[in-house]
Structure 1
Amino acid sequence: MPDIKARLRVGFHWRGGPDVVFADITEWWRDPVVLRDLPAAVAGLIDATPTVVIGPASRGTLLGALVAAHLGVGLVEARKNDRVALHSAFYATRRLPGTYHEGGAVLSFRRALIRPADRVLCVDDWVETGAQALAVREMVEEAGAEWLGLACVVDDLGERDETRRRLGTRSLLTAADLMRD
């Protein structure tokens, strides 16, 4: 199997100018070797066996679907949708902090999709503040399910060691691994 970390580095670029720089991972999804090998690599970060994978929209859902298919389990999408508040009896919801880059969006999933007997693995491409994953963890635990941890491609939590510990974060790379030379 080719070195997945090396392929991820090759397909990664920092974009933008002097005022705004952002991570561009779009080449990952174009590379068929990454699509083939990334699900096993991400699933292998956690030693437990999940019954379901949850992925925050949008790229967490994309990667989560690949990991869930690899593991032979189902997927729950954690969506960003302010309209679910009208149907809160059916949805678990959490408002993300106003400082989150989408300005306090509501993260939700349908309550019936996470059950008390579930062992839930959260999957995402990139974790920066941990706000989404912390909200997902709260909703998963509120449902009575077991949180197995967060498996992600890039850990950009920096010095947020307490957040990393609370989430059980495991990653293939850190943001420092992708810094420009």
Structure 2
Amino acid sequence: MQFTTILFEVIDFRSFSNLWYWIMLAVLWSSASHWVLGVPFDMIQRARRQGGQALADLQDMVRINVTRLLYIGEVAGLWLVGFVAFLLTTLLLLAFWYWIEFAQAVVLIALPMTLVGVMSIATARRIAQEAPEGEALFRRLSRHRLHVQMVGMLSIFVTAMFGMYQNLVAVRSF
């Protein structure tokens, strides 16, 4: 047997049976729930416990990131919406019309992350309008993090179910 034949038999390069896909998925959702509007969650916890300078730093960081997100939304919002819609439509067609497994794997990551992006912009708008401080800011950021975690859990569940289905279909076709 040739080396490449053995390699392809030992290592499965399909998306849903590839360990690296699942590691990347876990890291992606872990990072998404750790970075709340671009602010690390440990910074939020420290500001809640210590107050003072840690709270001032948190409020500055939130203000900077909220302003940044809203600026991007104002300047490039329509272009981003159009590009993301085009990209997701293309991926959805490749994934579920042409039944390409790699596109399915990417869709199961990109769709929920797009939802998280929309949620982040909505939360940034609310923070900009309400200008919460102290406990109100902690609640707003914690609620956003909880919603991101719920989307992540649902996404991982759906991806795992669909991935198992794909793996079972692949095994049956051999």
- The normalised TM-score by structure 2 is 0.29
More contact order relative to length (CA 8 Å, sep ≥ 6): 2
- The normalised TM-score by structure 1 is 0.28
Larger helix percent: 2
